[in-house]
Amino acid sequence: MRFLPLNNNDRAAMLDVVGVNSVDELFVDVPKSARLDELIDVPMHKSEAEVDAHLTAMAARSRAAGAGPFFIGAGAYRHHIPATVDHLIQRSEFLTAYTPYQPEISQGTLQVLFEFQTQVAQLTGMDVANASMYDGSTACAEAVLMACRVKRRGKVHLAAGLHPHYREVTKTQCKFQEIEVRPCPSRPGHDEDVLIGMDKESAAIVVQSPNVFGEIIDLEPYAEAAHAVGALLIAVFTEPVAFGAIKSPGEMGADIVVGEGQSIGVGLNFGGPYVGLLACKQKLVRQMPGRVCGETVDANGERGYVLTLSTREQHIRREKATSNICTNSGLCTVAFSIHMTLLGEAGLRKLAMINHEKACTLADKLVAIDGVELVTENFFNEFTLRLSNPKGGGKPAKDVVGDMVAQGVLGGLHASRLMDGQDDLLIVCATETNSDADMDAFVSALEGALS
């Protein structure tokens, strides 16, 4: 077996040193009733070529996003990732290292984390960021727990434009912790409803911008309303490229900013692994969950980096920890940081401008179709359409999407995949990866589906 260096001579010699006659004697502590004599009923070992063939055939049974016109966003975005990123993250020293618990021989990972934390803090307009969370949705849930710790209050309010998966994950996370989660039903144009019912027991309000429908929200009034009752504003995002074009949540008064970093450096991957970003104001740092990297010096006085503030964490604090989290999104943070370094400020702004331009162009083309109405007034690279059949007998957006698939176009996401009662809404995203021909194909597919 190609992954196993020992041969039978080695094994015999080693068993001898251990002082046993057979490998079975190494499993002597296993209760007899639980010892397996037979091999488990799964296939026997395969050559690399066989594994390659098996999985390549399986992969071909999915339609890759890049195989044709593609316009789905809603929490995960298709962007071009420079080849340099994937090359660098496959270097053995990044790929096959463990968590940097021995800082003297982990400065590579640690310096990247320090740079990553600074990039995320800058991008979100906050003071500090942690070394990442599993994804945007779990970062959102952790931010809610964090706000409740900071405020010693037990009520949080979720806006109507929060991604429904983020809402559900937050509800699950709070379910057994005596935290009252008050979600507003998902629908466009109703973010302000989150302010209803806020009072001195509220720890935070959670508002997403651009929201799940693509609408850009001015967060300042939300920050003011939250602060007026002594609560925090948790700002959520799913598309970090947006901050190349619009103000950061920090500039608008958010106290904690969380979101999905997948757009930068990490591919679609059918939903994971992704990279959750969490940033906050300096005064909240000791209630932050997850790993954090900090600067220090070595015995010679040279600058270096270590994991720090571990007294918040489970391996020290056990049941009193700020979170049970024991990992970050390691290699995805490296990918994010490399891609962001390649972009730089100028590149990110250009990328954002192109994304917005593409979305505006596409929106103009689509609303020209009979029965298509633009629901989102202000948007970045994603917007929502209301579809109605001009000839009556309305067709749900779900079926429209299905019809477009038959024409080879993945033309957005029907909102009913994520929420109830919005059967006529289609959430559409355009990025720099979409060509004019893609857009024309989309227009013609949608026309066909609606006619």
Partner 1 sequence: MSMNSKGRQTSPDALAVSGHKTVSGNRGLAQAEKLIFEIGTPRRTGVDFPALKGAKSRLGGRLGGMERTEEIGLPGLSEPETMRHYVRLSQKNYAIDLGVYPLGSCTMKHNPRINEKMARLPGFADVHPLQPRGTVQGALELIDELADWICKLTGMPAVAMSPKAGAHGELCGMMAIRAALDARFAKEGGADNKRRVLVPESAHGTNPATAVQCGFTIDSIPATDDGRVDMDALKAKLGDDVAGIMLTNPNTCGLFERDIIEIADLIHGVGGYFYCDGANFNALVGRVRPGDLGIDAMHLNLHKTFSTPHGGGGPGSGPTVLSAALAAYAPVPYVVREQGKYKLIEDAHGTDSFGRMTAFHGQMGMFVRALSYMLSHGADGLKQATEDAVLNANYVQASLSEDMSPAFGGICMHEALFNDDFLKGTGVETLDFAKAMIDEGYHPMTMYFPLVVHGAMLIEPTESESKAELDRFIDVMKGLAKRAKSASDNKDGADFFKAAPIYAPLRRLDETRAARKPVLRWREDPSA
**Residue 367 touches partner 1, criterion: CB under 8 A:** no
Indicate the pairing of strand 382-387 with strand 425-429.
Answer: antiparallel
Nearer Cβ to partner 1, position 198 or 434? 434
Q: Which residues, in sequence order, are bridge partners of residue 180?
A: 155
**Residue 221 touches partner 1, criterion: CB under 8 A:** no
**Residue 142 touches partner 1, criterion: CB under 8 A:** no
Residue count, binding to partner 1 (CB under 8 A): 203
Rg of the chain, C-alpha, whole Å: 25
Please pick, from the candidates 158, 241, 401, 445, the single residue that binds partner 1 as defined by CB under 8 A: 401
Please pick, from the candidates 362, 432, 441, 442, the single residue that binds partner 1 as defined by CB under 8 A: 432
Tell me the C-alpha distance between 438 and 444, whole Å: 10
Applying the rule CB under 8 A, the residues between 144 and 173 that interact with partner 1 are 163, 165-166, 168-169, 171-173
Please pick, from the candidates 147, 205, 207, 292, the single residue that binds partner 1 as defined by CB under 8 A: 292
Nearer Cβ to partner 1, position 198 or 445? 445
Burial pattern 60-91, b for ≥16 Cβ within 10 A else e, equals eeeeebeeebbbbbbbbbbbebeeebeebbee
Applying the rule CB under 8 A, the residues between 186 and 215 that interact with partner 1 are none
CB 257 within 8 A of CB 281: no
In the sheet that holds 155-158, the strands lie side by side as 128-129, 276-280, 256-260, 232-237, 202-208, 155-158, 180-183
- Helix, strand, or coil (residue 235): strand
Least Å distance between CB 230 and partner 1? 25
Least Å distance between CB 228 and partner 1? 22
Nearer Cβ to partner 1, position 58 or 196? 58
**Residue 316 touches partner 1, criterion: CB under 8 A:** yes
**Residue 368 touches partner 1, criterion: CB under 8 A:** no
The label of the residue with tokens 């079926």 reads 399
Please pick, from the candidates 241, 351, 425, 443, the single residue that binds partner 1 as defined by CB under 8 A: 351
Tell me the C-alpha distance between 267 and 147, whole Å: 30
Least Å distance between CB 249 and partner 1? 11
Applying the rule CB under 8 A, the residues between 53 and 92 that interact with partner 1 are 54-56, 58-67, 70, 72, 74-76, 78, 82, 84, 86, 88-92
Please pick, from the candidates 192, 193, 225, 342, the single residue that binds partner 1 as defined by CB under 8 A: 342
Q: For residue 177, give both structure tokens.
A: 């912790």
Write the interaction track for partner 1 spanning residues 242-261; mark x where CB under 8 A is met and - where it is not: -xxxxxx--x--------x-
CB 244 within 8 A of CB 266: no
CA distances from 384 to 34, 241, 372 (A): 56, 18, 10
